[in-house]
């Protein structure tokens, strides 16, 4: 049976708001969890990042609010400021349709302003565990009216050490409050909290074949450590994404990568946990608006980011584990859209790719970059030009205008025709050189040479024995040799006098 918003029994105002935002039908995780939440069950939902989990719990939360009651009735906790702000915007957008007010309570913002906003009696609060715990401890936020609490990216909330703060908040609420955990993974810390605080929780896990992120392609490229930035540059130039999110593991390296990528001509912004709230918000706004092409981020800062139509995620450093790989990769291919994830790994990190492939059941392939495409290693060999290939040269034109049709495929130049030197008194004697193409002597030239040599086959003195050879010089007389010996080193006037020439 086809599931629609109407079959999930949502309020007409919410359905109208969904369709005005071009969301025509629920995703698998929404279809599975919304009926359970509307029925009041505690649930632990596991589904891939980008599958629509925010609306899966926010729509039932909005529908459960009693607008006649001025107290805070719903609390949503998120691990990072950015994710909390995204949830806040969703709640604000759809809450307006049913008259529900939402307030954000995140660290890095003015606590005094947040206290003033709480005096306006919001129905839903969305924030980070640390700031909400601080407001509750100071008596500025009351928990006695809260009947529904949601923890988004629950695995990360507990892995970041917020378990004590979350359990303190749960203790201050009514015993019959409803709890919902949403996450892409289910670590042991999360399972322990479920066991302690949930009442007969329903487990929801969306099967891999139903995941909306199935259109994401996963690759990895092997690189040397010193070539990582150049590999990333080539990859981005090759894929030509409108925008790309690049992850690194260490905050200390973020400035180094930023400088190198900017030197390569990219517009780069950075997002990391130590940055203040205003800077992080401005950075995200520029990236979403397309004012920068590359966002360089760490895991903590980029947790739960919802960036519309992000085409490419690059792991400059391999994810710390399979859970981190899932959350990083979930920034692309959201809500069923296509995306590409590429990890840049060293040769000694290949085992990490094998581990992710087995644990996550994904088709994680090795690729190489060649001639503007990604190839499976070895596949590009059939498209390389032959090593011994040389372009054929055009026929050469000789001095007489004759052309040689021989192809120059062996790298050798053709011989040029050369004429034999002619001694005085041997007018008309000539020897024609062998031609480069045929390599045979010209018959007419051979007859001319024989005629110049005289009768009886005896060659005159000084006649070269072979065409093109230098003629031998006649031997000098004894008197000439003696004169040369005496003239050696003598001044010019003395040489002239001895030779009988006038001075």
pLDDT in tens, 473-493: 667 777 777 777 777 666 676
What number is the average pLDDT over the span 274-284? 79
Q: Is the pLDDT confidence value at 401 over 50?
A: no
- 161 and 225 assigned to the same domain: no
Residue 149 lies in a domain: yes
- Separation between Cα atoms, residue 144 and residue 126, nearest integer Å: 17
Report pLDDT digits (tens) over 168-190: 999 989 888 999 999 888 888 88
Residue 222 Cα distances to 236, 324, 342, 356, 466, angstroms: 15, 20, 10, 16, 64
CB proximity list for 502: less than 8 A, separation 6 or greater? 496
Last-in-domain residue among 184, 207, 230: 207
Tell me the pLDDT band of 245, cut-offs 50, 70 and 90: very high
Residue 254 lies in a domain: yes
Averaging pLDDT over each range in 161-170, 372-381, 432-441, which range is the top one?
161-170
Q: What percent of the chain has pLDDT over 90?
A: 42
pLDDT (0 to 100) of residue 473: 60
Residue 457 lies in a domain: no
Report pLDDT digits (tens) over 193-205: 889 899 999 999 8
- Separation between Cα atoms, residue 142 and residue 174, nearest integer Å: 11
- Separation between Cα atoms, residue 143 and residue 236, nearest integer Å: 49
Q: Is the pLDDT confidence value at 255 over 60?
A: yes
pLDDT (0 to 100) of residue 308: 76
Tell me the pLDDT band of 110, cut-offs 50, 70 and 90: confident
- 201 and 257 assigned to the same domain: no
- 64 and 203 assigned to the same domain: yes
Total domains, the chain: 2
Across-strand partners of 271?
297
Across-strand partners of 182?
45, 152
Show the beta-strand stretches assigned E in 257-389.
Answer: 268-271, 294-297, 312-315, 339-345, 364-366, 368-370, 373-375
> 3-state DSSP call for residue 260?
helix
Q: Is the pLDDT confidence value at 386 over 70?
A: no
- 241 and 352 assigned to the same domain: yes
Q: What are phi and psi of 366, to 5 degrees?
A: -80, 140
Residue 411 lies in a domain: no
CB proximity list for 489: less than 8 A, separation 6 or greater? none
pLDDT (0 to 100) of residue 340: 93
- 193 and 217 assigned to the same domain: no
- Separation between Cα atoms, residue 239 and residue 312, nearest integer Å: 9
Residue bearing the bigger pLDDT, 207 or 442:
207
Tell me the pLDDT band of 434, cut-offs 50, 70 and 90: very low
pLDDT (0 to 100) of residue 237: 93
Residue 448 Cα distances to 360, 426, 430, angstroms: 90, 11, 7
Residue 108 lies in a domain: yes
- 268 and 164 assigned to the same domain: no
3-state secondary structure labels for all residues of 193-228:
HHHHHCCCCEEEECCHHHCHHHHEEEEEEECCHHHH
- The predicted model scores a pTM of 0.62
- Separation between Cα atoms, residue 291 and residue 283, nearest integer Å: 10
Residue 407 lies in a domain: no
Tell me the pLDDT band of 3, cut-offs 50, 70 and 90: confident
Q: What are phi and psi of 189, to 5 degrees?
A: -60, -40
Report pLDDT digits (tens) over 206-216: 765 444 446 78
pLDDT (0 to 100) of residue 318: 93
Mean of all residue pLDDT scores within the chain? 79
What number is the average pLDDT over the span 265-289? 84
pLDDT (0 to 100) of residue 436: 40
Across-strand partners of 127?
77, 105
> 3-state DSSP call for residue 397?
strand
Tell me the pLDDT band of 470, cut-offs 50, 70 and 90: low
Comparing CA positions, the residue from 330, 274, 322 lying closest to residue 305 is 330
- 234 and 173 assigned to the same domain: no
Report pLDDT digits (tens) over 290-327: 899 999 998 876 666 778 789 999 999 999 888 888 88
Report pLDDT digits (tens) over 127-181: 999 999 999 999 999 998 999 999 998 888 887 777 888 989 999 898 889 999 9
Coarse DSSP helix, strand, coil percentages of the chain, rounded to the nearest 5 percent: 40, 15, 45
Residue 333 lies in a domain: yes
* pLDDT-wise least confident of 10-14, 253-257, 274-278, 308-312: 274-278
CB proximity list for 344: less than 8 A, separation 6 or greater? 220, 221, 223, 228, 231, 232, 235, 314, 315, 316, 317
What number is the average pLDDT over the span 17-39? 92
State the pairing for strand pair 396-397/403-404: antiparallel
Report pLDDT digits (tens) over 335-366: 677 899 999 999 999 999 999 998 888 889 99
- 199 and 220 assigned to the same domain: no
Report pLDDT digits (tens) over 447-463: 444 444 444 444 444 44
Tell me the pLDDT band of 332, cut-offs 50, 70 and 90: confident
- 228 and 323 assigned to the same domain: yes
Comparing CA positions, the residue from 236, 234, 248, 241 lying closest to residue 338 is 241
Residue 375: CATH number of its domain: 3.40.50.300
State the pairing for strand pair 216-222/178-183: unpaired
pLDDT (0 to 100) of residue 312: 94
Q: Are 323 and 187 in contact (CB under 8 A)?
A: yes
Residue bearing the bigger pLDDT, 470 or 289:
289
pLDDT (0 to 100) of residue 70: 85
pLDDT (0 to 100) of residue 468: 52
Domain span at residue 364 reads 212-380
Comparing CA positions, the residue from 191, 214, 211 lying closest to residue 203 is 191
DSSP state of 444: H
- Separation between Cα atoms, residue 232 and residue 313, nearest integer Å: 11
CA torsion sign, 292 to 295 to 300 to 304?
Answer: positive
What number is the average pLDDT over the span 395-406? 39
- 160 and 21 assigned to the same domain: yes
Residue 230 lies in a domain: yes
pLDDT (0 to 100) of residue 285: 85
Upper half-sphere CA count for residue 86 (Cβ side, 13 Å): 23
Tell me the pLDDT band of 422, cut-offs 50, 70 and 90: very low
Decide: residue 61, CB within 10 A, 0-12 exposed, 13-18 middle, 19+ buried.
buried
Q: Is the pLDDT confidence value at 391 over 70?
A: no
What number is the average pLDDT over the span 387-399? 38
Last-in-domain residue among 358, 380, 402: 380
What number is the average pLDDT over the span 277-284? 82
Last-in-domain residue among 380, 396, 424: 380
> 3-state DSSP call for residue 181?
strand
- 203 and 219 assigned to the same domain: no
- Separation between Cα atoms, residue 334 and residue 214, nearest integer Å: 10
- 81 and 64 assigned to the same domain: yes
């Amino acid at each position: 049976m086809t599931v629609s918003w109407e079959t999930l029994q949502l309020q007409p105002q919410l359905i109208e708001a969904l369709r005005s935002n071009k969301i025509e039908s629920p995703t698998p995780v929404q279809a599975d969890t919304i009926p359970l939440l509307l029925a009041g069950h505690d649930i632990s939902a596991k589904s891939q990042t980008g599958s629509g989990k925010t609306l899966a719990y926010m729509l039932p939360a909005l529908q459960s609010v009693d607008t006649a009651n001025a107290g805070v009735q719903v609390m949503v906790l998120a691990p990072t400021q950015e994710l909390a702000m995204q949830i806040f915007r969703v709640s604000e957008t759809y809450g307006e349709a049913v008259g529900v007010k939402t307030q954000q309570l995140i660290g890095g913002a003015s606590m005094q302003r947040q206290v003033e906003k709480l005096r306006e009696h919001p129905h839903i609060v969305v924030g980070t565990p640390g700031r909400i715990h601080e407001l509750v401890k100071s008596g500025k936020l009351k928990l006695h009216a809260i009947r529904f609490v949601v923890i988004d990216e629950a695995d990360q909330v507990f892995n970041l050490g917020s378990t004590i703060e979350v359990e303190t908040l749960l203790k201050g609420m009514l015993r019959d409050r409803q709890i919902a955990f949403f996450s892409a993974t289910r670590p042991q810390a999360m399972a322990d909290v479920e066991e302690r605080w949930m009442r007969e929780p329903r487990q929801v896990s969306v099967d891999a074949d139903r995941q909306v992120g199935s259109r994401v392609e996963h690759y990895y490229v092997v690189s040397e450590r010193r070539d990582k930035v150049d590999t990333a540059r080539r990859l981005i130039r090759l894929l030509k994404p409108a925008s790309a999110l690049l992850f690194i593991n260490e905050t200390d390296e973020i400035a180094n990568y930023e400088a190198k990528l900017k030197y390569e001509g990219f517009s780069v912004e950075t997002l990391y946990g130590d940055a203040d709230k205003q800077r992080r918000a401005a950075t995200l706004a520029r990236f979403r608006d397309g004012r920068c092409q590359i966002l360089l981020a760490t895991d903590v800062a980029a947790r739960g980011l919802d960036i519309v139509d992000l085409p490419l995620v690059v792991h400059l450093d391999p994810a710390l584990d399979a859970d981190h790989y899932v959350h990083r990769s979930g920034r692309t291919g959201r809500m069923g859209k296509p995306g590409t994830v590429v990890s840049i790994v060293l040769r000694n990190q290949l085992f990490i790719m094998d581990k992710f492939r087995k644990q996550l059941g994904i088709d994680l392939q090795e690729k190489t970059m060649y001639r503007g495409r990604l190839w499976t290693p070895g596949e590009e060999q059939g498209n390389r030009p032959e090593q011994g290939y040389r372009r054929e040269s055009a026929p050469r034109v000789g001095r007489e205008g004759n052309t040689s049709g021989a192809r120059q495929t062996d790298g050798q130049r053709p011989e040029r025709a050369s004429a034999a030197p002619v001694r005085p008194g041997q007018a008309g004697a000539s020897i024609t050189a062998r031609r480069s193409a045929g390599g045979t002597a010209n018959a007419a030239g051979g007859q001319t040479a024989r005629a110049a040599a005289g009768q009886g086959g005896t060659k005159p003195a000084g006649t070269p024995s072979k065409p093109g050879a230098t003629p031998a010089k006649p031997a000098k007389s004894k008197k000439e040799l003696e004169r040369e010996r005496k003239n050696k080193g003598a001044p010019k006037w003395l040489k002239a006098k001895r030779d009988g020439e006038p001075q």
